[in-house]
């Protein structure tokens, strides 16, 4: 049994017929019996959220933990919204095999545990604190899907991980074929990460202007997670403290850097960070509001993200992840919230 879909294939923009055979797509009509899923509309490679932490539980008064049942529910929310691939830059627990391997489950790229250098001023309980950051990073990259996640900083007013330590991590992980994501929420933290050649900078609050050129030169991606920060802005502003003012200034700066990074050739990607899950369309809208061209913002949650993670799009022999929309999301990004059809790993989700 094969599935047939006809529509405008993005990002190329050609109207074509494609067929889904198992977990692959083809543009050549197969001999098998075919069922047509959609005729007309716009075909988008399955959405991607490159920064999400499903399954996390706990708050300021409760030690953080991992709930496997909650993880499964939040993965389903991603999938039902058309998100066909997820990157987890830091999890507090192991991905359950039965969820990861379930039919129609989003493709999952893990980076293991959050890793924090022992020299940081303080670390939340969910960080794995170590003096041997490079060795720990290599271990996580090899044990997961080629990625590890380190904390480039933690406090706004404390020194970040030194350049020499960050560079040692990057060199060690790259030597085993892995990549490094870095949490950065201070200007100095972002600068040291960019100088060290980190593969993706998460958040980037207060990013100094010179980082844009450094990231473009090294091929680093920028994942600003604007959705999460936008949800916190009003609460932070209400505090009226000097630390809140620093936060607000950093937030304004990171928004400006989105368009600047794009214009310089940096790959800007969509990641939501936190609840609600299955909400990468919101991140696309925030990227557009920050000045990213609509086609680039949609690509940040689709074809550009898939390319960065090594996942083929809608090409001959590509992975059978696609969503169908009534309108062109490059012209109307809000349509991402309303997929007509969702196919993940060749399974019809909607």
Q: Express each pLDDT in 137-154 by its tens digit.
A: 999 999 999 999 999 998
| Residues 244-268, mean pLDDT to the nearest whole number | 96
Residue 62: predicted pLDDT:
61
Give yes or no for residue 345 having a pLDDT over 70: yes
Q: Express each pLDDT in 266-306 by its tens digit.
A: 999 999 998 889 999 999 999 999 999 999 999 999 999 99
Total domain count, the chain: 2
Q: Which domain covers residue 20, as residue numbers?
A: 2-45+313-348
Verify that 222 and 300 share a domain, yes or no: yes
Verify that 40 and 146 share a domain, yes or no: no
Q: Express each pLDDT in 50-85 by its tens digit.
A: 999 999 887 655 666 889 999 999 999 999 999 999
Verify that 339 and 196 share a domain, yes or no: no
Share of the chain above pLDDT 70, in %: 97
Which residues neighbour 222 within 8 Å (Cβ) at sequence distance 6 or greater? Answer: 200, 201, 204, 215, 257, 258, 261, 266, 267, 268, 269
Give yes or no for residue 1 having a pLDDT over 90: no
Contact between 325 and 350 (Cβ < 8 Å): no
Verify that 17 and 73 share a domain, yes or no: no
Q: pTM of this prediction?
A: 0.96
> What CATH number has the domain bearing residue 125?
3.20.20.140
Give yes or no for residue 120 having a pLDDT over 60: yes
Verify that 124 and 19 share a domain, yes or no: no
> What CATH number has the domain bearing residue 19?
2.30.40.10
Verify that 141 and 9 share a domain, yes or no: no
Verify that 13 and 150 share a domain, yes or no: no
| Strand positions, DSSP E, 118-231 | 128-130, 147-151, 179-184, 200-203, 221-223
Verify that 141 and 274 share a domain, yes or no: yes
């Amino acid at each position: 049994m094969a599935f047939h879909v006809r529509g405008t294939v993005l990002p190329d923009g050609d109207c074509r017929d494609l067929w889904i055979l198992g977990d692959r797509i083809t543009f050549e009509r197969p001999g098998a019996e075919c069922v047509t899923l959609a005729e007309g509309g716009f075909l988008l490679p399955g959405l991607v959220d490159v920064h999400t932490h499903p399954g996390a539980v706990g708050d300021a008064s409760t030690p953080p933990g991992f709930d496997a049942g909650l993880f499964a529910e939040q993965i389903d929310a991603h999938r039902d919204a058309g998100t066909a691939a997820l990157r987890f830059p830091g999890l507090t627990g192991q991905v359950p095999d039965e969820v990861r391997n379930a039919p129609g489950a989003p493709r999952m790229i893990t980076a293991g545990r959050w890793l924090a250098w022992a020299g940081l001023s303080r670390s939340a309980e969910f960080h794995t604190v170590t003096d041997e950051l490079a060795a720990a990073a290599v271990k996580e990259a090899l044990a997961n899907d080629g990625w590890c996640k380190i904390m480039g900083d933690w406090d706004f007013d404390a020194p970040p991980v030194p350049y020499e330590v960050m560079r040692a991590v990057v060199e060690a992980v790259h030597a085993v074929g892995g990549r490094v994501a870095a949490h950065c929420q201070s200007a100095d933290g972002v600068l040291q990460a960019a100088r060290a050649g980190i593969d993706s900078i998460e958040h980037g609050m207060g990013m100094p202007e010179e980082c844009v050129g450094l990231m473009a030169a090294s091929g680093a991606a920028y994942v600003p997670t604007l959705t999460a920060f936008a949800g916190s802005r009003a609460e932070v502003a209400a505090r009226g403290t000097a630390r809140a003012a620093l936060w607000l200034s950093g937030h304004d700066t990171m928004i400006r850097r989105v368009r600047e990074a794009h214009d310089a050739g940096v790959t800007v990607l969509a990641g939501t960070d936190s609840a609600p899950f299955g909400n990468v369309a919101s991140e696309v809208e925030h990227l557009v509001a920050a000045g990213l061209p609509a086609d680039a913002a949609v690509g940040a949650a689709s074809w550009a993200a898939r390319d960065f993670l090594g996942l083929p799009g809608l090409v001959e022999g590509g992975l059978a992840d696609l969503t169908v929309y009534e309108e062109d999301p490059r012209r109307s990004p809000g349509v991402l919230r309303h997929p007509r059809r969702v196919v993940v790993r060749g399974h019809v989700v909607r």
